[in-house]
Structure 1
Amino acid sequence: MRIGELSQRTGVSARSLRYYEEQGLLSSSRSGAGQRHYSEDEVARVTLIRQLFDAGMSSRVIASVLPCVDVPSDPDVTASAFVTMTRERDRIDADIAHLVETRDALDVLIGINRRHWAELSTAAEAVTPAA
């Protein structure tokens, strides 16, 4: 498939796909006219790459873990990728913990805001003359 179809099927822009290729995250073959052609397997790979980027990983980190997808039986590749993946998982866990703390702090502020609006509403009703 050509880059436009891969882009459409994955929801990733052609520009991003070219960037992924420049970073060594994605590969394509070239037609005689120089057009990129991708295999069906690249749809799942782009989806995985997008998930890893969304999790906050850099292209350098992604490039270091993708070989375990490509060559899962190579012990050197899997050992190195394992260390990187566990480090990234720990970072994501810390990010999640921070987000939970932030959400909890926002819940407190939302509660304070709701009580404030309820008090204002009650005060306004007390001031409004009966009809």
Structure 2
Amino acid sequence: MAGLVNYLARQIRSFGYAGKGIARLVREEPHGRIHAVAGAVVILIVLFTPFPLMDDLMLLSMVGLVIMAEAFNAAIERLCDLYTRDHDPRIAAIKDLAAGAVLVIAIAAAIVGVAILVKNWEVVVGMW
């Protein structure tokens, strides 16, 4: 029984570490804040519009993917900065690749969001 309690305690602590990471992303990363605000807007849209469930799930999934990509990008940038603060073309390429990944998913999320709004335009207009 003690083993199970220790296991559960470790799992609960790991959620705390994850929460600290999310807080750090929003608090310390400018793009993290932008994505968090955009994500909050999308969550409000999901909560207050009668879109079909699958559309809501797609919007929420896109928010999660963008924030996840931004967190990975921030982690990669910090790891690279630990290696060197001097300009190194290899580090620059790594950072550019990570930032490019965020851009790709952010564009995809915007396309999905616009497509869902267009598909549900009557619902959106009917709310006003």
Per the normalisation by structure 1, the TM-score is: 0.42
Q: Kindly indicate whether structure 1 or structure 2 has the higher relative contact order, using CA contacts under 8 Å at least 6 residues apart.
A: 2
Pick the structure with greater CA Rg. 1
Q: Which has the higher helix share?
A: 2
